[in-house]
Structure 1
Amino acid sequence: MNSYHKYTSPASIDAIRSGYTKALADIDRNTRRLTPEGLRLEKGRAYIEARDRMNALRDRFRADVNSTRSRLERQLYGANSTDPASIVAMRDAQDRAAKLTNDANAKAAWETAQWSGDTGLQKAIAAQASRRGWSETMAAHTTEHPTTKELFHQLRTLPETEGVGETALFTLGKPQGFGQGDDNYIRSEVNQADQ
Structure 2
Amino acid sequence: MALITLNQKLNRLRDTAASTQANHREWVASIRADERLSSTGKNAELAKRYLSASRTLRDLDRQEREALETTRAELERKIFGQFSNDPSAIIAYRDAQDRATALTEKDQSKALAMMHTAKLAGDTTLQAALISRALSAGWDRVVSQYNDDNPTAAGTLKDLADVIHFQTDPDVQFNATSAYSLIKPQELGRHTDAALERIAAEEQPNEGQMWGGALTA
TM-score scaled to structure 1, two decimals?
A: 0.72
User: Could you tell me how far 1:85 is from its partner in structure 2?
Assistant: 10
Q: CA deviation at 1:100?
A: 6.6
How does 1:46-61 map onto structure 2 within 5 Å? 46-61=49-64
Distance 1:118 1:190, change over 3 A: same
Match of 2:184 among 174, 190, 193: 174
- SS of the counterpart of 2:190? coil
Check conservation: 2:83, 2:89, Cα contact below 8 A: yes
Runs of 4+ in 1 over 6 A off after TM superposition: none
In structure 2, do the counterparts of structure 1 residues 83 and 178 end up closer, same or farther at CA, with 3 Å as the change threshold?
closer
The equivalent of 2:70 in structure 1 is: 67
Aligned length: 188
Given the alignment of the two structures, is residue 151 of structure 1 paired with residue 159 of structure 2, yes or no?
yes
- Tell me which protein shows more helix as a share of its residues: 2
Structure 2: unaligned runs, 5 residues or longer? 1-5, 205-217
1:127/1:153 CA distance change after superposition, 3 Å: closer
After superposition, the C-alpha distances for 1:82-134 in whole angstroms (9 at most, x for unaligned) are 385993796498279547772223323433444x3625254444344334443
Aligned to 2:131: 126
Q: CA 1:62 to 1:89, structure 2 compared with 1: closer, same or farther past 3 Å?
A: closer
Structure 1 residues 193, 137: CA separation in 2 closer, same or farther (over 3 Å shift)? same
Picking from 11, 21, 25, the partner of 2:25 is 21
Unmatched segments (≥5 aa) in structure 1: none
The one of 77, 87, 90 equivalent to 2:89 is 87
Q: TM-score, normalised by structure 2?
A: 0.66
User: CA–CA distance in 1 between the matches of 2:174 and 2:28?
Assistant: 26
> Equivalent pairs: percent with the same residue?
20
Cα shift readout 1:48-105 (whole Å, capped 9, x = no counterpart): 222222222222222212222333343445x546385993796498279547772223
Structure 1 range deviating more: 98-107 or 13-22: 98-107
Q: Which has the higher contact order (CA 8 A, sep 6+)?
A: 2
How far, CA to CA, are the matches of 2:9 and 2:76 in structure 1? 19
- Residue of structure 1 equivalent to 2:212: none
Paired AA for residue 171 in structure 1: S
TM-aligned CA deviation for residue 139 of structure 1: 1.3
